[in-house]
A and B are shown apart, each in its own frame.
Chain A
């Protein structure tokens, strides 16, 4: 069929560009993911601290980040920092923007996981003479990990999809490559579908890895 042949030709010609954009998407995604995971681990203890002086600033940060749109944050970082004399690259602004927001979500997921373990386990551990740190390491943490793997995986998949927002500040990632190709050819649905396939492949792979980790974690308990 002519239509199929035409579409096939177009997509085949576009394929190398899409792969290039895909590479950048993966780069943004992985960097932001690493930063966000690191950030959430760093903020977890202050978030759960008893002292209000330590806890409140972190809580405020989380509320601010969770309750404003990511696109807006990315714009603010990208167009705002030059006013202060800093000119970080588009890629860096995008990665940091995504990481800042997702850190907030991840901290809350981790905190929820830890708090979902009954207080009585802490008490029981202390009754048999375990120190707090040991209790956390050997009793609470393994159970927490298992509980948070599901929501954590969800959040990381959302993070991967959010990478498309950095196209707004000119990072040539997958969605941007697709938009450019549509501008050129005015062929829209077919290109959007192809772009969606790439995302689907990436998130499916990520989902599979996360499930594998979840199973391994479960098997060790």
Chain B
């Protein structure tokens, strides 16, 4: 099967070849076959040679990634990324945080702008066809937030034409909406903060948010509340990277596994407590 990468290599190789032929008037047979994408060249080698790791993050989803009062980019995802940098270089400052929008995370992963991404990203099968995921580094779920004085008590209550629900561009939110409250109107934003503001300012009745994000926003916004009923069972937030790089994936997945219950559990536990105020469940006894 021809992958996109191979296709582009072939086309550019052929174009370069054609250029050579025109320039030198050599017979086509003298062309060299286009160089295949160098096998064995992993991001892991590239990162170590570069001396820093470039990580795609969000600045719009507290407490995972956001800009604090001092203007610094902080959050749980950012700290986990730093823990990984420490694992590679023994120094958590050898990292470049690459802020990106949610829609931009896939192209940036595929074209190599980032080495990996960690930004409140839920694993779904259709996503896993396009990028590789490590095992989840934190459990999550989707909740619904509404204004405190809203008459909406359950998810079923939302199923009325007079209600509007704010979704993120992630199509799974829309699918969930079509399944659970098909009569409501949908509004779609490409930033979580816009979704939340839509509820706060009365543009939407409700919004679907990742549970930890919702909890964090609710701390500072007493006029908004969360429905008791959740939209999904537990889902996994995971680190994503290019799918054709086994060596790099194996490294990252190993580091995550160690965080969840091995040699890196202590620093991971400290981060978890710092951002969520409680201890994570240890994956291994």
* B170 interfacial by beta-carbon distance below 8 Å: yes
Residue ID in chain B nearest A5 by CB atoms: B2
- Assess whether A4 is in contact with B7, with CB atoms less than 8 Å apart: yes
A185 to chain B, nearest CB (A): 7
Residue ID in chain A nearest B190 by CB atoms: A179
| A185–B169 CA distance with the chains assembled, in angstroms | 12
User: What class of interface size applies to chain A in its complex with B?
Assistant: 20 to 34
Q: With a CB–CB cut-off of 8 A, which chain B residues contact A183?
A: 102-103, 106, 169-171
Residues in A2-24 with C-beta less than 8 Å from chain B: 2-4
| A103–B89 CA distance with the chains assembled, in angstroms | 55
Q: With a CB–CB cut-off of 8 A, which chain B residues contact A168?
A: 189-191, 194
Contact with B along A140-182 (1 / 0, CB 8 A): 0000000000000000000000000001111010001001101
- Assess whether B127 is in contact with A186, with CB atoms less than 8 Å apart: yes
* B24 interfacial by beta-carbon distance below 8 Å: no
Residues in B1-59 with C-beta less than 8 Å from chain A: 1-4, 6-7
Q: With a CB–CB cut-off of 8 A, which chain B residues contact A82?
A: 201-203
* A138 interfacial by beta-carbon distance below 8 Å: no
Q: With a CB–CB cut-off of 8 A, which chain A residues contact B107?
A: 182, 188-189, 192
| A167–B191 CA distance with the chains assembled, in angstroms | 11
Residue ID in chain A nearest B175 by CB atoms: A184
* A61 interfacial by beta-carbon distance below 8 Å: no
Residues in A87-137 with C-beta less than 8 Å from chain B: 87, 90
- Assess whether B131 is in contact with A186, with CB atoms less than 8 Å apart: yes
* A83 interfacial by beta-carbon distance below 8 Å: yes
Q: With a CB–CB cut-off of 8 A, which chain B residues contact A189?
A: 107, 110-111
Residue ID in chain A nearest B6 by CB atoms: A3
| A146–B222 CA distance with the chains assembled, in angstroms | 59
* B233 interfacial by beta-carbon distance below 8 Å: no
Residues in B124-172 with C-beta less than 8 Å from chain A: 126-127, 129-131, 166, 169-171
| A2–B2 CA distance with the chains assembled, in angstroms | 6
* A187 interfacial by beta-carbon distance below 8 Å: yes
| A128–B169 CA distance with the chains assembled, in angstroms | 66
A169 to chain B, nearest CB (A): 8
* A199 interfacial by beta-carbon distance below 8 Å: no
Is the contact region of chain A dominated by helix, strand, or loop, or is it mixed?
A: helix
* B197 interfacial by beta-carbon distance below 8 Å: yes
Contact of B169 among A1, A2, A179 (CB under 8 A): A179
B139 to chain A, nearest CB (A): 22
Q: With a CB–CB cut-off of 8 A, which chain B residues contact A180?
A: 169, 171, 188
Given known contacts A168-B194, A183-B169, A87 and B188 CB-to-CB distance under 8 angstroms? no
| A189–B11 CA distance with the chains assembled, in angstroms | 16
Residues in A167-221 with C-beta less than 8 Å from chain B: 167-170, 172, 176, 179-180, 182-189, 192
| A4–B4 CA distance with the chains assembled, in angstroms | 9
B125 to chain A, nearest CB (A): 12
- Most B-side CB within 10 Å, residue of A183, A185, A187, A188: A183
Q: With a CB–CB cut-off of 8 A, which chain A residues contact B1?
A: 2
* B73 interfacial by beta-carbon distance below 8 Å: no
Contact of B202 among A1, A87, A184 (CB under 8 A): A87
A174 to chain B, nearest CB (A): 14
B285 to chain A, nearest CB (A): 36
| A7–B166 CA distance with the chains assembled, in angstroms | 31
- Assess whether B130 is in contact with A185, with CB atoms less than 8 Å apart: yes
B174 to chain A, nearest CB (A): 8
Q: With a CB–CB cut-off of 8 A, which chain A residues contact B67?
A: none
- Assess whether A78 is in contact with B102, with CB atoms less than 8 Å apart: no
Contact of B106 among A90, A170, A172, A182 (CB under 8 A): A182
- Assess whether B7 is in contact with A170, with CB atoms less than 8 Å apart: no
A87 to chain B, nearest CB (A): 7
Given known contacts A180-B171, A183-B169, A78 and B190 CB-to-CB distance under 8 angstroms? no
Contact of B103 among A83, A170, A182 (CB under 8 A): A182
Residues in A74-92 with C-beta less than 8 Å from chain B: 78-79, 82-83, 87, 90
Residue ID in chain A nearest B166 by CB atoms: A170
Q: With a CB–CB cut-off of 8 A, which chain A residues contact B103?
A: 179, 182-183
* B184 interfacial by beta-carbon distance below 8 Å: no
Q: 9 shortest A-B CB distances, which residue pairs?
A: A186-B130, A188-B107, A186-B106, A3-B7, A179-B103, A184-B171, A82-B201, A170-B187, A3-B2
A to B CB contacts below 8 Å, 14 in the list: A3-B2, A3-B3, A3-B6, A79-B201, A168-B190, A170-B187, A176-B190, A180-B169, A183-B170, A186-B127, A186-B129, A186-B131, A189-B110, A192-B107
